[in-house]
Amino acid sequence: MINKFSVIIPSYNEGEWLKKTVLGVLENTDYPDFEIIVVADGCTDDSLDFLQKGIPNVLLVELEESVGAAKARNMGAKVATGDALVFIDSHMVPSQTDWLQELTVQLEDKKIGAATLKIPYLEEPDRVAFIYTLGDFALEPTWISPLNKAKIHNVPVIPGACFAMRKELFVSTGGFDEGLHKWGREDLEYSLRLWRLGYDLSMSTKSGIAHSWERKRTFEISWDEVDYNILRISLTLLSDSWQKKVKDCLQKVRSANVIKFYRELENDQKFLSRKRDLEQKFKRSFAEWEKTFSAMLPVLRKK
């Protein structure tokens, strides 16, 4: 049974959006027991000012320098006191007050490793993102509509924008992969890892948490970082045939990165040890994942 949620919000220079998110959660959540943990990821703006005098049930964790989403989320989880964790972006507001209850419904099924909700656009409430999936062999994320009218769906990937887990499972599976570079695809890595470890992923259409899709990004995305993460995920979690397709896809646009990062990963003993350890723990193959979610994978329809 889940008694308490820890809502973990990593944030980097989000300005007024962080305040909107924290107050939005406090004002639009009717779960009986929850805390909010803001992980300030090396913030240099004034976005934390409203927290300096303290807000009940809100804990601020300040990092001296920016470490990226994966490490920031893990830092928040370390101080969390809830039975369950939910990671949300710092530019989101719950659409319904029962959003944590709807995550609880999913997580109380022990087969579910991670759960999410529908994600409406804050700027256009009638426009909704549902199933998070893969658009191409660069592992680019995309969204599709549900294939049926069920309230809860098994899905291929859980988005970092709303990623909920039981804390004990988060701890036992090691949390987000801190070997990834700063930005890019950390939610995909954890989703695939959980699925291959034997846990399902789910999404509810009954409740939602709205996301600002039009706000200006507060950090630069480096293709070096993203390409490294894509190749690390490919070599750890994908089948041989998908690894080749991913490699071929990246070689068409940034071949130097493929050569550089393959060499780096092939000589990284810590990475290779982790890969061997995971392979011994996996209960399902990537081929099973592909077969299970084939109808939800636009990447398979790309030529």
Quick one: 228 and 84 in the same domain? no
Quick one: 44 and 11 in the same domain? yes
* pLDDT tens readout for residues 284-297: 999 999 999 999 99
Q: Which residue has the higher pLDDT, 223 or 96?
A: 96
One-letter-per-residue 3-state SS of the chain:
CCCCEEEEEEECCCCHHHHHHHHHHHHCCCCCCEEEEEEEECCCCCCCHHHCCCECCEEEEEECCCCCHHHHHHHHHHHCCCCEEEEECCCEEECCCCHHHHHHHHHCCCCEEEEEEEEEECCCCCCEECEEEECCCCCCEEEECCCCCCCEEECCECCCCEEEEEHHHHHHCCCCCCCCCCCCCHHHHHHHHHHHCCCEEEEEEEEEEEECCCCCCCCCCCHHHHHHHHHHHHHHHCCHHHHHHHHHHHHHHHHHHHHHHHHHHHCCHHHHHHHHHHHHHCCCCHHHHHHHCHHHCHHHHCC
> Residue 20 corresponds to which amino acid?
K
Q: State how many domains the chain has.
A: 2
**Per-residue model confidence (pLDDT) at position 52:** 86
Q: What is the mean pLDDT of residues 93-98?
A: 96
Q: How far apart are CA 131 and CA 142, in angstroms?
A: 8
Q: Are strands 152-154 and 58-63 parallel, antiparallel or unpaired?
A: unpaired
217 within a domain of the structure (yes/no): no
- Report if pTM > 0.85: yes
Quick one: 39 and 176 in the same domain? yes
258 pLDDT more than 80: yes
Residue finishing a domain among 183, 211, 239: 211
Dihedral sign of CA atoms 287, 185, 113, 172 in order: positive
Residue finishing a domain among 211, 234, 268: 211
> Residue 204 corresponds to which amino acid?
S
* pLDDT tens readout for residues 4-60: 999 999 999 999 999 999 999 999 999 999 999 999 999 999 999 999 888 999 999
Quick one: 197 and 233 in the same domain? no
**Per-residue model confidence (pLDDT) at position 184:** 86
* pLDDT tens readout for residues 121-165: 999 989 999 999 999 999 999 999 999 999 999 999 999 999 999
Portion of the chain with pLDDT greater than 70, in percent: 98
How far from each other are the two terminal CA atoms of the chain, in whole angstroms?
A: 46
Quick one: 255 and 159 in the same domain? no
Quick one: 187 and 235 in the same domain? no
Quick one: 37 and 139 in the same domain? yes
Residue 83's CATH number: 3.90.550.10
Quick one: 62 and 187 in the same domain? yes
Helix axes 186-196, 223-237, angle to 10 degrees: 10
- Domain of 26 in residue numbering reads as 5-211
Quick one: 199 and 254 in the same domain? no
Q: How far apart are CA 81 and CA 33, in angstroms?
A: 11
